[in-house]
A and B are shown apart, each in its own frame.
Chain A
Amino acid sequence: AQSVTQLDSQVPVFEEAPVELRCNYSSSVSVYLFWYVQYPNQGLQLLLKYLSGSTLVKGINGFEAEFNKSQTSFHLRKPSVHISDTAEYFCAVSDYSGGYQKVTFGIGTKLQVIP
Chain B
Amino acid sequence: NAGVTQTPKFRVLKTGQSMTLLCAQDMNHEYMYWYRQDPGMGLRLIHYSVGEGTTAKGEVPDGYNVSRLKKQNFLLGLESAAPSQTSVYFCASSYGTVPNQPQHFGDGTRLSIL
Contacts and interface: CB of A to CB of B under 8 A. Distances in A.
Q: Is chain B a partner of chain A in the same complex?
A: yes
Contacts of B90: 43-44
Interface of B: 4, 31, 33, 40-43, 45, 48, 50, 56, 90, 92, 94, 96-108
19 contacts: A32-B100, A41-B108, A43-B105, A44-B92, A44-B105, A45-B105, A90-B43, A94-B99, A96-B98, A99-B50, A100-B31, A100-B48, A100-B96, A101-B94, A101-B101, A103-B33, A105-B42, A106-B42, A107-B40
B100 A51 contact: yes
Contacts, number: 59
Interface residues of A, number: 25
Nearest to B44: A105
Nearest to B35: A105
B99 A107 contact: no
